[in-house]
Amino acid sequence: MASGAGIEVVFLGTSGSVPTPERGLPCIAIRRRGELLLLDCGEGCQRQMMRAGVGFAKRMKVFITHLHGDHVLGLAGLLQSMGLMGREEPLPVYGPRGLARVVEAFKEALGFELPFRVEVHEVGEGEACRGDGYRVEAVFVEHSVPTLAYALIEEERPGRFNPERALKLGVPKGPLWKALQMGEAVEVGGRLVKPEDVLGPPRRGLKLVYSGDTGFTEKLVELSRGADLLIHEATFDDSLEHKALEEKHSTARQAATVAKLAGVKKLALTHISPRYQDPSLLEQQARQVFEHVVVAYDFLKLNLVYED
């Protein structure tokens, strides 16, 4: 799956604030075309990666939503472990202002040298980076410290190839078909055949959004528009809505409301307060608003696939 079409999402830590015997601290692995993207780095994330069989890809990027310990303390261990494993490829790490100081502090206080370069990018709203056929956009959400939500947005894919049409235009099956599928015009018998002659309309790519820690905000609704998957924190249930408001977190119902307003396909709730040993209450309350919801648990895998 990881090297094939689509996106694989692996939840490596789904608790909020403190870990529990069942749930690690926030970390989500995204595998796409051989690249690994990590969303947040809760403590012990590298061990969770091993247990999940996610691997430490050469092509890897890390996105930190905010500088609360439960989301960033795992970065120290991850960097050190990857150093000891002999990583040489640079590692880009994205996050809000202050992240560079945190990484420097880890290295200085703990006195470790790394055999690879950590490229810290302190980002704000807008495009955080571009990758192989995608971009990552960030917005500030509603939390007690500057916190970014991230959207991974794939570029449009070429339209569906029409073989009958290609044959009719005299293009024989083989490398010329491949060229047309890749968007190149080809010459057949002195005549030019263009990709648009044999391809259907461009097809949309996948979109995935991660909220970080946040209270309800319209900005997240905007960012999540039409997403295939929204991963949203759901720290509390309805009875603790006042606490959610006070601490700038969300209830499961509020997360579901974002999903509904944004018209996403699927919602995964994470950052579950340790008080919920059984999270079915959160799922029930969310489901009253938005049907396609799952409460994430450690090592849950979700596959996002193309529908056309």
Piece of the chain touching Zn ion by CB under 5 A; list 15-23, 112-120, 124-132, 222-230: 15-23
Nearer to Zn ion, 16 or 279 (CB): 16
Nearer to Zn ion, 68 or 266 (CB): 68
Question: Could you confirm whether 70 is annotated as catalytic?
Answer: yes
Q: Give me the count of residues in the chain.
A: 308
Chain positions 212 to 241 lying near Zn ion, rule: CB under 5 A, are: 213
Of 8, 40, 43, 70, the residue at the interface with Zn ion (CB under 5 A) is 70
Output phi, psi for 286, to 5 deg.
-70, -40
Q: Measured from the CB of residue 143, what is the shortest distance to Zn ion in angstroms?
A: 6
Instruction: Extract the tokens encoding 242.
Output: 């006042």
Nearer to Zn ion, 97 or 178 (CB): 97
- H or E stretch including 149? strand 148-154
Q: Quick check: 298 and 42 in contact, CB under 8 A?
A: no
Q: Measured from the CB of residue 213, what is the shortest distance to Zn ion in angstroms?
A: 4
Q: Measured from the CB of residue 68, what is the shortest distance to Zn ion in angstroms?
A: 4
Catalytic residue among 40, 70, 237, 298: 70
Nearer to Zn ion, 8 or 213 (CB): 213
Return d(Cα 16, Cα 70) in angstroms, integer.
7
Of 31, 32, 68, 207, the residue at the interface with Zn ion (CB under 5 A) is 68
Q: Measured from the CB of residue 270, what is the shortest distance to Zn ion in angstroms?
A: 10
| Under rule CB under 5 A, residue 142 binds Zn ion | no
Give the count of residues interacting with Zn ion (CB under 5 A): 4
Return d(Cα 149, Cα 250) in angstroms, integer.
14
Nearer to Zn ion, 62 or 198 (CB): 62
Instruction: Extract the tokens encoding 161.
Output: 């190839």
Which residue's structure tokens are 């996610």?
A: 54
Q: Measured from the CB of residue 74, what is the shortest distance to Zn ion in angstroms?
A: 12
Nearer to Zn ion, 31 or 68 (CB): 68
Coil, strand, or helix at residue 136? Answer: strand
Piece of the chain touching Zn ion by CB under 5 A; list 8-16, 53-61, 199-207, 250-258: 8-16
Residue 27, CA distances (Å) to 35, 64, 171 in order: 16, 9, 49
Helices (H), the chain: 45-52, 69-72, 74-84, 99-110, 163-168, 175-181, 195-198, 218-224, 241-247, 252-262, 280-287
Which string of b and e fits 269-301 if b means at least 16 CB within 10 Å?
A: bbbbbeebeebeebbebbbebbebbbbbebbbe
Q: Measured from the CB of residue 194, what is the shortest distance to Zn ion in angstroms?
A: 51
Chain positions 104 to 123 lying near Zn ion, rule: CB under 5 A, are: none
Catalytic residue numbers, as ranges:
70
Write out the residues near Zn ion by the rule CB under 5 A. 16, 68, 70, 213
